[in-house]
Amino acid sequence: MQIGLMGLGGTLDEIVEGAVAGEAAGFTSYALANIFGHDAIGALTLAGARTSRIELLTAVVPTYPRHPGAIAQQALTASAAAHGRFTLGIGLSHKVVIEGMYGMSFDRPARPMREYLSILMPLLHGQPVQFEGESSTFRGGLVVTDVNYPVPCVIAAMAPAMLRLAGALADGTVLWMAGAKAIRDHVAPRVRAAAADAGRPEPRVICALPIALTNNAAAARELADKQFEVYGRLPSYRAMLDRQGAATPAKAALIGDEAALDAALRELEESGVTQFNGALFDDGAGSVPRTHAFLAERARTWAAAHA
C-alpha cells in the first residue's frame, strides 16, 4: 500500500510547498481537496512544476459545476506540468452544495456521472468524442501535445452504482471517511468486480482518513470529533461511517501511538486499499510534525520494498 499525504490547504504557496516537502520526505503522493478554497487542479499544476517524483491527485473536484470537456483540458494541462504525475479525482459533491449553492438538481446523480465519464475518459486518453446525453454533450477533441496519455482518473464512489462506474469506466475510487471494514465488505469487492466484468485493469482503491500520532488518544479523538463533525452529517459519508460501525468521524480516524497506527495501516492494506493518504491533524499537543515523520518513514519503507 502506497502512503501519501492529504494537503492541509492554506495559501497557494503553502499548498505548493506542502507537495515539495512531501516529495522530499519520501511520500508517494500528495492529494488536494477542492472545496471552497483554491482550485485544486490549478494549485497542483503549479506543484507539478516544482516537483519531479511525487504523484499529484485531486481528491476531489466536483463535477456538476464543470463541463467534462473543460475539466479534461485542465487535467491534461496539469499532467503536462507534472510530466505524467497528475491523477484527476472527481466526485459528485453533496446535495446541500449542488442544490443549495449552485441551484442545480442532484436527482439520480449516478446517471449524469456515467455521461460525464463517457466524455471525460476518452479525452483523458487522447481520443476525440462524439457524445450527446441528457446532462452532458461534447463533439470533438483536445490537442494537448506534451501529455503522456492516458491521464488517470478516479472517482469518489461509495454507493453501489457509483462503485460500478469507478471500476467499469474509471481507474478506481478515492474515499474519505471509509474505514477498513467498510472497504473490505462494501467498496473493494464491488469496484473490483465491476472492473473485471468490464475487462479493465485492477482498480485503485485510494483511502484518505484523518490521522494523528499521539500519546493521548482520548483527547485527540475529542478534537477530531469537533474538527470533522460535519462529515457525519453528510449522507454519503454517514452511510460509510455506519458501514464501519463508527458513530462519529473520529471513530474512523487513525489515532494512537506508533503500534496502533501501524496496526491500522496494516488493516487498511488487508482490506484492499492500494494507497493511503493521511490527513494530518493536531492532537492539541503538536502532533502534526510527529505524524508527518512517522508516515514518511512508512512511505519510504514501502517504496524501498517495491523499488
Domains of the chain as residue ranges with CATH: 2-305 (3.20.20.30)
Res 307 pLDDT > 90: no
Res 43 pLDDT > 90: yes
pLDDT band at 219 (very low <50, low <70, confident <90, very high): very high
pLDDT band at 306 (very low <50, low <70, confident <90, very high): confident
Q: What is the share, in percent, of the chain residues with pLDDT greater than 70?
A: 100
Res 8 pLDDT > 90: no
- Which residues contact residue 307 at a Cβ distance below 8 angstroms, ignoring those fewer than 6 apart? none
pLDDT digits (tens, 9 = 90+) for 122-155: 999 999 999 999 999 999 999 999 999 999 999 9
pLDDT digits (tens, 9 = 90+) for 149-196: 999 999 999 999 999 999 999 999 999 999 999 999 999 999 999 999
Q: Which residue do the cell numbers 502506497 mark?
A: 2
**Measured between alpha carbons, how far is 234 from 105 in angstroms, rounded to an integer?**
17
Arithmetic mean of pLDDT, 57-78: 98
- Which residues contact residue 254 at a Cβ distance below 8 angstroms, ignoring those fewer than 6 apart? 209, 210, 211, 212, 260, 261, 264, 265, 278
Mean pLDDT of the chain: 98
**Measured between alpha carbons, how far is 290 from 214 in angstroms, rounded to an integer?**
8
**Measured between alpha carbons, how far is 129 from 116 in angstroms, rounded to an integer?**
12
pTM over 0.95: yes
Query: CB–CB of 208/279 below 8 Å?
Result: yes
pLDDT digits (tens, 9 = 90+) for 290-303: 999 999 999 999 99
